[in-house]
Amino acid sequence: MKPPSRNFANKHEPLLCQRPDNTSFTQQRLPAWQPFLSASIVIPCFFFIGLSFIGIGIGLYYSSDSIKEHEYDYTGAQEGDPCNYCAVSASRPCYCNITFNITESLQGPVFMYYELSNFYQNNYRYMISRDNTQLSGDLDSLKNPSNECAPYRVNSDQKPIAPCGAVANSMFNDTITLFYYNSGTYDEVPLNGTGISWWTDYNIKFQNPTNGNLTLAEIFEGTAKPTNWQNGTYNLSESGFKNEDFIVWMRAAALPTFRKLYRRIGNLTEGTYQLRFEYNYPVSSFQGTKKIVFSSISWMGGKNPFLGIAYLVFGSLCTVFAIIMLIVFIKYQGKIDDDL
């Protein structure tokens, strides 16, 4: 019996079936344009980019430099400092004052920041020690926080902590008031604590839990405050997770020295002022410092010379490279023409 014959006539048929369509796109016959980078194009572009960036950098740098700032350290690390007693004393609350003079008015709005140093909010384990579901108003997460919050998930009585986690537990809780010396008495300067957080944080990310017609006090009943929160920290039954000081603190800083907006002030006129602190937040354990900063603002925001310096450096490099290329082009142009 003969074996079945093979049909070798169609042995190339599978390859023909896999061939792309005969179109300009699949066969790569589309018209293309390739720039020819000659010296007459590259050198002027480098000059234009460099000089443009230098001009923008100068404007940004002088705009930042025109912003006025006043810093006052109240760490109390040295003997003789106004807050030294509170820094070394274990009794809380502790009160201290700093008196200062402003010789040049700060036009509003004036931003009042607190500044901490040597505090690493960017530590990974610290950053994830929170429950974003709980902070978004989820009722189940309120009673059963995420395991990421451990060891600040439940207290010693096994009550769930709200808000849970290391970030909330370490919240800045100094109370700061400002007074203006006027005709022998100190008048309190109004400090505006609204609108200091990001709009998206306050209106979207942080929400209070709801449960029918129950009040916040009833909803948070059965939960415990974070371990390190003292009487100076805000009351959950009044604002819940919508407290702006809390929201500002929960946005982690990228660097170990950072500022967070505390209050806004209309104007700071010339004269004598006094800062009064309820000293609650310890910084000596991590060799940190605490400062209060008053700053005016410009169209670009607060004082930050980095952006202007970055533009100046990049623009200067472009200009230097353009000059070098121009010198090389002039020096070797004649030789290139002779070779051609």
Answer whether residue 18 shows pLDDT above 60.
yes
Q: What's the mean per-residue pLDDT of the chain?
A: 87
- According to DSSP, the residues that pair with 280 across neighbouring strands are none
Residue extents of the structural domains in the chain: 123-177+199-235
Q: Does 151 sit behind a cis peptide bond, omega within 30 degrees of 0 on the bond before it? A: yes
Nearest to 273, CA basis, from 158, 156, 180, 157 = 180
Contact status, residue 207 vs residue 241, Cβ threshold 8 Å? yes
Mean pLDDT within 196-219? 92
Beta strands in the chain (DSSP E): 69-73, 94-102, 110-116, 175-182, 185-188, 258-265, 271-279, 290-295
The pLDDT tens digits of the residues spanning 110-168 come to 999 999 999 999 999 999 999 999 999 999 999 999 999 999 999 988 999 999 999 99
- Complete edge-to-edge strand list for the sheet that includes strand 271-279: 94-102, 271-279, 175-182, 185-188
Distance CA 297, CA 283 (A): 28
Nearest to 174, CA basis, from 256, 253, 233, 257 = 233
Mean pLDDT within 6-35? 70
Lowest mean pLDDT across 2-6, 246-250, 261-265, 330-334: 2-6
- In this predicted structure, what is the pLDDT of residue 65? 85
Q: Exposure pattern of 11-25 as b/e (b: 16+ CB <10 Å)?
A: eeeeeeeeeeeeeee
Distance CA 315, CA 59 (A): 13
